[in-house]
Amino acid sequence: MKAIGFKKSLPIDEAESFIEFEKEIPQPTGHDILVKIEAISVNPVDYKIRQGAAKDQTLDEAKIIGWDAIGTVISVGEQASIFKAGDKVFYAGDITKPGTNQEYQLVDERIVGFAPKKISIEEAAAMPLTSLTAYEILFDRLRLSREKDAGKSVLIIGGAGGVGSVAIQLAKNVLGLNVIATASRPNTIKWCKNLGADFVVNHKDLIQEVKNVGLETVDFILDFVDVNQYWDAFVQLIKPQGKIGSISDPTEAVNLRQLKGKSVSFHWELMFTRSMFQTEDMIRQHEILNEIARLLDEGLLQSTLNTTITGFSADNLKEAHRLLETNETIGKVVIKF
């Protein structure tokens, strides 16, 4: 089978930033299933790992990355019981194992969901990683529910990003929250409003912008950009006994003592935690992806697909990374095999 990887972290415009090669099709054991991939999407984590994984060295074997795929199950390991050959599935995978930039992939069935049936494979491929992240931060980390939290306010930093785009929809359509999202360009403002944000504010003057929509404080804050950059604003804007969740990678220490007076809780979210540590509740990601598929099929969640590139090749993968590295893309970039 064909796979695409890299042996050295190079700028995306260099010839060997991605290389194509042949490898054996692996056989599943244990909880693994073998999936024939039909489409993948590219996330910021992809280019960040490509830029850093082999910065000062040349790897002996090409590293295969990629975390988002849809495909068909070919065979299953002896402990697998959820899927059978022929099932259509989608998933985000495991950061500790070879990724989706290959024609066939082994993946643990406990982090795989049945693919949605009423949308295209490209639309479905765009969703697993961002949906798992947004769903986990809202429901598993902050532990929000419609029964106790409907009508409360949430401030989403980075509303037009991949995770923010899903979080807006889940917060509005599933939880019934009053959603304030940040965006600064006309096209990103329109994107957030189309996804269901009640208000869109400019992140450059966050405190005043939130006041301008009639709020002094908010119940919940979701940071999908940079917790250091907005920390002082978060401390001021969060309600007493509120909750803050973040997925960003702080470059400086976060002073949690500033939250003590308000008894505010802070929550980290990393979508790869369950697979990386083989947690007892790994199956939760299978359940979440099934729920995401249901929401997509019922129209309560819309795919964030924006750009489709056809053909699995090093050149097309380079183009997808190049687009993401501009930091100006809206929605997801998908490669259809």
pLDDT at residue 221 tops 90: yes
CA–CA gap between residue 28 and residue 18 (Å, rounded): 26
A 10 A CB-CB count for 179 gives 26
Q: Which amino acid is at 54?
A: A
Average pLDDT over residues 247-270: 96
In DSSP terms, which residues pair with 33 in a beta bridge?
A: 76, 107
Give the pLDDT score at 324.
95
Q: Cα(first)–Cα(last) distance of the chain, in Å? A: 13
Contact yes or no for 188/207 (Cβ under 8 A): no
Contact yes or no for 108/275 (Cβ under 8 A): yes
CA–CA gap between residue 283 and residue 260 (Å, rounded): 34
String of DSSP letters for 275-296: HHTT-TTTHHHHHHHHHHHHHH
pLDDT digits (tens, 9 = 90+) for 201-213: 999 999 999 999 9
Map tokens 């830029």 to a residue: 51
Q: How many residues are given for the chain?
A: 337
CA–CA gap between residue 269 and residue 136 (Å, rounded): 7
A 10 A CB-CB count for 248 gives 18
Contact yes or no for 4/52 (Cβ under 8 A): no
CA–CA gap between residue 99 and residue 293 (Å, rounded): 22
Could you tell me the CA-to-CA distances from 132 to 71, 90, 186, 276 in Å, in that order?
18, 12, 28, 15
Sign of the dihedral defined by the CA atoms of residues 6, 321, 311, 25, in that order: positive
pLDDT at residue 328 tops 90: no
Domain boundaries 130-268, corresponding CATH code: 3.40.50.720
Domain ranges of the chain: 2-127+280-336, 130-268
Give the pLDDT score at 329.
87
Map tokens 């970039």 to a residue: 333
Give the pLDDT score at 57.
92
Map tokens 């199956």 to a residue: 283
pLDDT digits (tens, 9 = 90+) for 38-96: 999 999 999 999 999 999 899 999 999 999 999 999 999 999 999 999 999 999 999 99
Choices 1.25.10.10, 3.50.30.30, 3.90.180.10, 3.40.50.300: CATH for 2-127+280-336: 3.90.180.10
Model confidence at 144, pLDDT cuts 50, 70, 90, reads: very high
Proportion of the chain above pLDDT 70, given as a percent: 100
Q: What is the pTM of this model?
A: 0.97
Give the pLDDT score at 327.
86
pLDDT at residue 22 tops 90: yes
CA–CA gap between residue 7 and residue 298 (Å, rounded): 43
Q: What is the CA radius of gyration of the chain?
A: 20
